[in-house]
Amino acid sequence: MDELRKNSSAFLLTYVLLFNTRLSSAIDTINTSTTIRDGEALVSPNGVFKLGFFNLSNSTNRYVGIWYNKITVPTYVWVANRESPLTDTSGVLTVTLLNGTNGILVLLNGTNGTVWSSASTTTPNPTAQLLDSGNLIVKDADDGDNFLWQSFDYPCDTLFAGIGLGRNYVTGVETYLSSWKSNDDPAKGEYSSHVDPTGYPQMLVKKGGEIMYRIGPWNGIRWSGAPDTINDPTYGGSLQITRDEMRYSLRAVAGLVLSKSTLTPNGVGVRSKWNDRANSWTTYSNIPADNCDDYALCGPHGICNVGTSPSCGCLNRFVPRDPESWDGMDWSGGCVRRTALSCDGDKFFKYSGIKLPDARNTSNNNERRSLTECQVDCSRDCSCVAYAQLNISGDGSGCLFYHADLIDIRTMASAGQDLYIRMAASEVEGVVGDGSNRGRTRTIVIASVTSLAFACLILGYVFCRNTQKKNLSMSQGMFSATHVKDAELPFFSLSTVLKATDNFSDKNKLGEGGFGPVYMGVLEEGHEIAVKRLSKTSMQGVNELRNEVTLISKLQHRNLVRTLGFCAQGDEYMLIYEYMPNYSLDITLFDQEKSRLLDWQKRFNIISGIAKGLLYLHQDSRLRIIHRDLKTSNILLDADMIPKISDFGLARSFGGNQTEAQTRRVVGTYGYMSPEYAMDGVFSVKSDVFSFGVLVLEIVSGNRNRGFLLKDQNLNLLGHAWSLYKEDSLRKLVDPCLDEAFDLGQVERAIHVALLCVQNSPDDRPRMSSVVFMLGNEVALPQAKQPGFFTERDMAIDHSSDRSNPTASHNQLTITWTQGR
């Protein structure tokens, strides 16, 4: 309690610096002789927080809560009567006495019935005060430093500076966050966020009693698995562990922006900061961020990597426990050691760059012990299966010991940690390098080199011999051996491809692009494939295919088409992909009959999937990729209508801190290209964002942007959507075939986000990380500005009949032209 008083004083000083205008007409305290009625409020001493009555937009229920007073966006951080709303405006908040001696804060309805109350306090002279920290307290009027009750002990869905999550070991009381039921109902929802003390503290989010995702364990600086808080002076926390309590709280930093964490009704943890210039909360992280944050997705000893497909794999030197289930994408059984432990003589293998496993079955030694000493301690205990550094703030900072299966591990793009796993000695001896996940035994290294040499022999005619030519001509379709080596793709023999495609039979032909035709095929074991075959006369296709070979092996994501391998024999050059039974999006979307297969939920899932795939390309892949030709015909649909971005022939990769580039050779598809790219050859991630916005408007409306015709209007689809946005009539944009069977709020959000994406200036467009968040969360959206190209259309071209022609995608050609000097 003393520490809490000190913290509250510190928070008061913080907010004095932020808000130094005292509201002389406002009160911050009530006692037994004063009340707060509906329409009245308490305001903290320096105007930081306000307490009063409110209702939510789609409800007439009245609540008493606390919100930020100095910002214009209503942000409720605490609700008193969240489970018992008032049904009218007759509510009264007052302080009263029980039995003449015990002070209590109560909320009464119009008939003086108690709707809500604080815990009883032992004082005959109680007062309630709202502090600048946002804490509502009950205290003795003559003892201002002794908080007898405080709202910080009963948080709702929001964590901000001063609130402590954890457990009091003396009283057994746990403090945790609980989500709202919905955006219009602050009652306790399905999700809760806990600092779990079992084993070693970690943050858990649960749905009922089931763990949904986990952030942790605590490593002395942050939660393992939440690297985005590193070096952030405006957001961070601390964990105090004593004999009496375990308590995690966010820190307040004087003079800097407000920040908070909110557990949304759908179980997402959202971290945000207040942006004065934008007059809105800016989100800077979501947890879960991707499917690898799903708890124990890959089972015991499995490891999740969002950059691979499938995402789950076994830890190095482990194999699937049930190979058949594993191949069927059921990873729940996890993996087992390739070689059993013997205890005596076991070694330790280092895994780097990971989120540490579930820490509920751990022990620890927080004395100043080095990693070498940790290894010695773990070696002596046969139940110890792994160890890690307890505190990463410096060497010799204690040990964390694991005593059960290692669960819920994922790779980390940055700020991952090291874990030392117990292995049979034979699995560790002869390791090259530091023994991390990238390490391989000498045998494996030799085998890899041999495989490369063998591949070079197989491809000698195409690759090896041609690299010796002085005038290697890419226009003739030649690839160097370097492309094959860098691609790391499996090799398919020409005979295998010919057999699979029935000698490239016309009945197996799926379509054709600038590179050449695409065929469907079936391998001997029954696996369906799609084969992209380079046309011998295709100049554009040579460059595209070479570009794909360079990039595709580095791109693996649920929403990207998976590349299975390549074939290069004689004068044949092919890429082999997973087969998509529902073909490309345009074939279904723009067909009058087939479009009915795409109900609103499927369309929204497609929009979300494309957004996540683009986010991976722009931010999370090993290379920063600009697609440059995003369009409906390049979105393929699998058997479950899950979208897969395809065709990386025109893609460009960025390195380091590069954010944009310029080219004299503009490539892309009219109707999807951003203004700055089409006019000046400047492309960036924001160019793809523009194309994505066009895609969304097409998916919602069922119409192409290119050639869109509305009677009596000279507008393309972007211009029509913009007009409806200004008229607040977005419902009119929705595809009539949906027959009003859609979530209007979700539809309007999708259209609004799309219009933000197609704004004329690239600086005004959001990044894909913001797009993904805005689509998945009911947050306030900024006003959209005028789109680019919103009045331009070729009146001589009318594609209005495309909807009835399933092969109309031939009108959406990829075009290339060279900019003049």
Q: Sheet containing 136-140: which strands, arranged edge to edge? A: 29-31, 126-130, 136-140, 143-150
DSSP 641-654: --EEE---TT-EEE
Cα 257 to Cα 14: distance, rounded to the nearest angstrom = 10
Q: Which of 38, 290, 346, 629 is catalytic?
A: 629
Residue 568 CA: distances (Å) to CA of 80, 207, 476, 554, 565: 69, 51, 13, 20, 10
Q: Is the peptide bond before 288 cis (omega within 30 degrees of 0)?
A: yes
CB 308 within 8 A of CB 622: no
Q: Where does residue 345 fall: left (phi above 0), alpha (psi -120 to 50 degrees), or beta otherwise?
A: left
Cα 144 to Cα 159: distance, rounded to the nearest angstrom = 25
- Strands 399-402 and 517-522 come out as unpaired
CB 788 within 8 A of CB 690: yes
End-to-end CA distance of the chain: 72
Residue 182 pairs in a beta bridge with 185
Cα 419 to Cα 614: distance, rounded to the nearest angstrom = 31
Taking every pair of C-alpha atoms in the chain, what is the biggest distance, in angstroms?
101
Best CA proximity match to 235, nearest among 201, 269, 277, 189: 269
Provide φ and ψ at 10, rounded to 5°: -65, -40
Best CA proximity match to 632, nearest among 666, 578, 583: 583
Q: Is the peptide bond before 126 cis (omega within 30 degrees of 0)?
A: no
Q: Sheet containing 563-569: which strands, arranged edge to edge? A: 509-512, 517-522, 528-533, 572-578, 563-569
Provide φ and ψ at 398, rounded to 5°: 95, 170
Best CA proximity match to 701, nearest among 725, 679, 742, 734: 734
Cα 35 to Cα 52: distance, rounded to the nearest angstrom = 11
- Strands 302-304 and 409-411 come out as parallel
Cα 528 to Cα 709: distance, rounded to the nearest angstrom = 39
Residue with tokens 């709020």: 745
Best CA proximity match to 134, nearest among 189, 179, 79: 79
- Strands 143-150 and 158-159 come out as unpaired
Residues 6+ apart with CB under 8 A from 403: 361, 362, 363, 383, 384, 385
Coil, helix or strand for 575? strand
**Catalytic residue check, 140:** no
Residue with tokens 């003079």: 255
**DSSP symbol at 86:** B
Cα 586 to Cα 760: distance, rounded to the nearest angstrom = 25
Best CA proximity match to 806, nearest among 643, 510, 592: 592
- Amino acid letter, 6: K
Both tokens assigned to 104: 């209590």
DSSP 159-189: E-TT-EEEEETTT--EE-EEEEEETTEEEEE
Rg (Cα) of the chain, in Å, rounded?
A: 31
Both tokens assigned to 726: 């200004």
CB 271 within 8 A of CB 203: no
**CA 774, 775, 780, 786 torsion-angle sign:** positive
Annotated catalytic residues are 629
